[in-house]
Amino acid sequence: MGTHTQRVTASQRGLGRPVRRRTRTFRPNYLSFAGTYQCNLTCPHCCVPIEWPDRLDIGVARRFLEDAHRYGIELIGFTGGEPFLYPEFLVALTRWAAELGFRFDKIVTNGVWHTSRRQLRATLRALVEAGFTGKLGLSVDKFHGSHTPQLAEFCRSARAIFGRDNVMSLSHASRRPDAGLEPVQALARELDAVIEWSDLLGRYLLVSRDLTMTLNWNHLAPVERAERLVGAWDGTWFAEDYCEGPGQALIVNPNGEVKPCCGFASDLDQLTIGDIHRDTVKQIVRRAHRHPYVGKVFREGLTAIRDEILARDPDALPGATSNHCYFCWHVLTRGLAEHVPGGGGQIGKWTGERPNYQGELLQLGIRRGGSDRRPPVANAPGSP
């Protein structure tokens, strides 16, 4: 979620649900819906197939939400595409989640989807009335383009309508936490705000008279449209984190497919662990445990996968990378992981023409052999 994918850290979200035995395993504590893939922007680093028209059916999503509640998941967020292009989904799911007692994480948004101030305010008001108590996670970086006045309008309206100075957080994608802050600085100027470092939080804050936004950094992963960006093999191996932050989630895509994480590789079919049209949460978690790749990531870690690949062929990888999700995406698309087919990304998945949200036909990806077929889902042996 993909998405203006914003990695959620473990400290922001809490660790996964406790398990009876002290073992590492996939134990999701977070539910995220991407109601639509479509977006009003076309950022060069986007890893979402924004030209796909699929939308999650509200009734089907509600059923899954209730199932997740029974299962014990308590935290919910929304991503996309641009979630505000499907506001009726956001509002309906928010209302039911609030009634069920869910805590709210972020709605990830580019903040510039509105065509008028009136539309913006009416949509935000409907969210407040539905009971949304989370944050609006604004993606602001050079990839999203320069939309400073419209972003500032979004911030001021959200502050006024939600009546909270902490209703927003910021997210920027770059190579280093302190790089690529220029668009955030421009927004700060527009809002008459300053950017300060917080030792306590270990991150930057944008602070104005009536707004305080934390700035979250996303390690830029040059995948999908951004494949031509170089530098991901930066010579340093990632530190194992068992995907506790971005993973331990049930991310529901607009076509109903469920992924275990909101990492940059999560749109790959190889990470599909179920479908809300036919599976229960229990079945999906069980399948994740047995999944030849997902199960191993959460049980043994990415380093185990890396070591297995290098033991088989010391030259299988072009170098070392500190970016977990980039590594994941590389080994999955190239078919380097055991028992998982390769494919996807620019080397084979998003092919063929698809209408975007305005009905324009877009062509992304490289057409291979005239085929528009997607690679098979990597189901674990014996899974339904």
Q: Are 146 and 186 in contact (CB under 8 A)?
A: yes
CB closest to ligand SF4, residue no? 263
CB of 8 to ligand SF4, least distance (A): 10
- Is the Cβ of residue 247 or residue 348 nearer to ligand SF4 in the bound state? 247
Residues at the contact surface with ligand SF4, assessed by CB under 6 A: 3-4, 39, 41-43, 46, 48, 50, 80-82, 110, 139, 144, 243, 246-247, 261, 263-266, 297, 302, 324-325, 328
Angle between helices 281-290 and 58-71 (to 10 degrees): 70
Least Å distance between CB 63 and ligand SF4?
25
One-character DSSP codes across 279-328: --HHHHHHHHHH-TTHHHHHHT-HHHHHHHHHHH-TTSSSS--S-HHHHH
What are phi and psi for residue 318, nearest 5 degrees? -75, -10
- Nearer to ligand SF4 by Cβ, of 96 and 151: the residue is 151
In this complex, which beta carbon is closest to ligand SF4, that of residue 96 or of residue 297?
A: 297
Distance CA 45, CA 228 (A): 10
For residue 218, the minimal CB distance to ligand SF4 (Å) is: 10
Nearer to ligand SF4, 204 or 298 (CB): 298
Question: Which residues sit opposite 117 in a β-bridge?
Answer: none
SS3 128: helix
- As measured in angstroms, the least distance from the Cβ of 27 to ligand SF4 is 14
Residue 6 vs 351, nearer CB to ligand SF4: 6
Kind and range of the H or E element at 184?
helix 182-190
Residue 46 Cβ, how far from ligand SF4 at the closest point, in Å? Answer: 3
Q: Which is nearer to ligand SF4, 143 or 204 (CB)?
A: 143
Q: Taking the complex as a whole, how short is the minimal distance between the CB of residue 55 and ligand SF4, in angstroms?
A: 15
Q: Which residues of 77-112 are buried (b: 16+ CB within 10 A; e: fewer)?
A: bbbbbbbbbbbebbbbbbbbbbeeebebbbbbbbbb
Among 135, 121, 201, smallest CA distance to 168 is for: 135
